Amino acid sequence: MKVGSEVRSPENQPHASPIGSLSRMHGAYAGRNMAAKFMLLFFGIALWHKELAMFAGSLLALTWLLHGGLRQLGQTIKEPLVLAILVFCTVLLLGILWSDYPDSGRFRWDKYLGLMIFIPYSSLLNKERLPWAITGLIIGYSGVLLMGIYYQFFLGVQGIPPLRMVYLHFSMMLGVGVILAFYLMATSDNKKAGGLLWLLAVSLLFMQFNQNGRGPLLATVLTLMLLLVMLYRTQISKLLAVTAAVIMMTGVFAYHSSSFHERLSQAQSDVRLFQQEQFETSTGYRLAVWDVGLHAIAQRPWFGYGTGMAKSAFETTAETYKDGRYKNLVNFTKNLHYHNDMIEIGVYLGAFGLSAYVFLLWGWFQTLRAHRLPILGAALICFVFLAGLMDVIFIYGQIPSLLLVITAIAITWKRNTGE
């Protein structure tokens, strides 16, 4: 030791001020909290654009990780929907083992994995961040709705071309809005708000009647009838009055909608052509692929043909089924799928996959039911199921994301307000 050097006792050692440490911790938390708010806002807006949605989803997952999401996963997985999503996605990934991957990727089956976005989104939501999430959802939905109004009523175009949103996609979006608006109208104590929500629901339903999508429209109307029964089951007179009003309204919309009449006439013509073994029509093609798909499931009922094997299974089965009458349909569309969620998953994974799909719907309902939202849960699951009978709803990735965002916001609102 050098002469004159000072020996510092532990008491003399420099150390950080407790106030300074707390200040830095508070600043770090405030920064992460602001990032979470912005990501919830941004995701609600960006989910309608394919590339932006992927970017926003990645940033949302990163924000969740920075908030210690993995450490909290054990708690998060206790939510029935989270567990069901993880099981469903795991089953899909296991199905790759007996598929022709990567050749099986002719249809974007990986869009099913987009369900995973519910985990970071719902985990980041709390009472303080809820207004940001709701604002993002409203801005995004309203922006797409205004674009749809412009293209439908001013340009006479179905869907929204800049967003690559076909008419079926846009019709499903309108259907979700109709169901949610009716639900909020019926559960609102504010008469002015209830009147505005009724007007919104009627306007969205009118727009949907003027879209060419028959399947989404039918799913919306049937779900709406179920919703009315559940909402007013103890008020018979009110149930009859509201149901009569909705039936009259849908009748008027159907009568004055040229699109509805054209699609109904086309469906009747398509069925006649199908009976004459002409399958290259919208309805005929659906009936044909359903027929082939059900036969394919019967051939491999337990584990199917492997994840993503829709087109390969069709080619294999249609070659000999019913003397090959459907085999030329393989070239009818670029991305062949079965226009039915249950048939699609059944062809992929048989009873193994269908069990996971049913578990997904059950977990979705159980989560909303556990948060005292059984009617909303039943309505959303009914719409998903019915829309999935006419198309593979997961093709349109924004629709499941929209439904999951609504689910996360609803359960967070209920948990923090009890309303």
- Token pair listed for 328: 């030329």
Separation between Cα atoms, residue 350 and residue 348, nearest integer Å? 6
Burial of 78 (0-12, 13-18, 19+ CB in 10 A): exposed
Mean pLDDT for the chain overall: 88
Query: Mind listing the pLDDT tens digit for each residue in 345-358?
Result: 999 999 999 999 99
Nearest in space to 166 (alpha carbons), one of 336, 395, 412: 395
3-state secondary structure of 165: strand
Structural element, H or E, at residue 316: helix 310-318
Helices 191-209 and 130-149: crossing angle in degrees, nearest 10, is 40
Residue 134 has, within 13 A of its CA and on its CB side, a CA count of 11
pLDDT number for residue 31: 78
Quote the CA–CA distance of 221 and 241 in Å, as a whole number: 17
pLDDT band at 70 (very low <50, low <70, confident <90, very high): confident
| Cα separation, 260 vs 155, whole angstroms | 18
Other CB atoms within a 10 A radius of the CB of residue 121 amount to: 25
Contacts of 247 (CB under 8 A, 6+ apart): none
My answer on whether omega of the bond before 18 falls inside 30° of 0, hence cis, is: no
pLDDT (tens digit per residue) in 228-261: 999 998 888 888 998 898 899 999 988 888 888 8
Cα separation of 246 and 222, whole Å? 11
Looking at residue 15, its pLDDT comes to 52
Q: pTM to 2 decimals?
A: 0.90
Read off the tokens for 318: 């249609």
Provide the pLDDT for residue 418: 63
- Inter-residue contact 379 to 368 (CB < 8 Å): no
Q: What are the tens digits of pLDDT across the range 11-59?
A: 455 555 556 555 555 556 677 889 999 999 999 999 999 889 999 999 9
Residues ≥6 apart with Cβ < 8 Å to 32? 63, 66, 67
